[in-house]
Amino acid sequence: MSTDIPADRPDVPADDALPGLPDDAFAHDGLITKRHVRAGAFAFLRPRPGELLWDVGAGSGAVGVEWCRAASGARAIGVERDPVRAARARENAERFGADVTIVEGDAAGVLPTLPTPDAVFVGGGGSAEVVGAAWEALRPGGRIVVHAVTLETEAEAVDRYRRHGGSLTRIAVETAQPIGRFLAWTPARAIVQWAATKDA
């Protein structure tokens, strides 16, 4: 398990492989699963030694990096259609020494070409086709976490919950931010999370 921390991220403890690194531990353009929500996803993804994660809609690659740091020999494949974000995700993985392979392309076309995953994370804009393909590919006993920020993905998460069970949660996070001399709560975009384990 690699716990190497980039030299320009001194606030990240080198001996701490628990998920939930600060957002600024990663280079990103704002498209990142935020720290509190990311840490919560790992309660259901539950990385195990040697397992493979699909990170669909990889963005910054933060989920894949944290997966690899959390268990010995864990690997991740990130799927990202935006070439700039894909390059940034590769850089983040390299800086952390994480075994993350980034594949550029549309997830619907890429997923059928990938090796069978032990766990799947689908970011905020997963389509019904992508979520369905991820579920079908998942090995028995595998775990899936889908985060929905759009109404379309939320509807898919609700449908999958009805069909496969698991848990369906709406997560709203607010952080304290200064307003003049005072502090006020600033809400982040709410996330609907579907998490499930595929029957063995």
Taking only the tens place, the pLDDT of each residue in 179-188 is 999 999 999 8
- DSSP code for 168: E
Number of C-beta neighbours around residue 141 at 10 A: 11
- pLDDT of res. 6: 47
List per-block mean pLDDT (blocks of 10 residues) for the chain, which spans 200 residues. Answer: 43 67 86 89 96 95 95 96 94 94 94 97 89 96 96 95 97 94 94 94
Backbone angles phi, psi at 110, to 5 degrees: -80, -40
- pLDDT of res. 155: 95
Reported pTM:
0.89
- pLDDT of res. 5: 44
- pLDDT of res. 4: 42
- pLDDT of res. 23: 87
- pLDDT of res. 29: 84
CB burial of 72-102 (b: ≥16 within 10 Å; e: otherwise) equals: eebbbbbbbbeeebbebbbbbbebbbbbbeb
CA–CA dist 148, 125 (Å, integer): 6
pLDDT in tens, 31-60: 788 899 999 999 999 999 999 999 999 999
CA–CA dist 140, 200 (Å, integer): 4
CA–CA dist 153, 128 (Å, integer): 7
- pLDDT of res. 200: 74
The answer to whether the CB of 134 falls within 8 A of the CB of 56 is yes
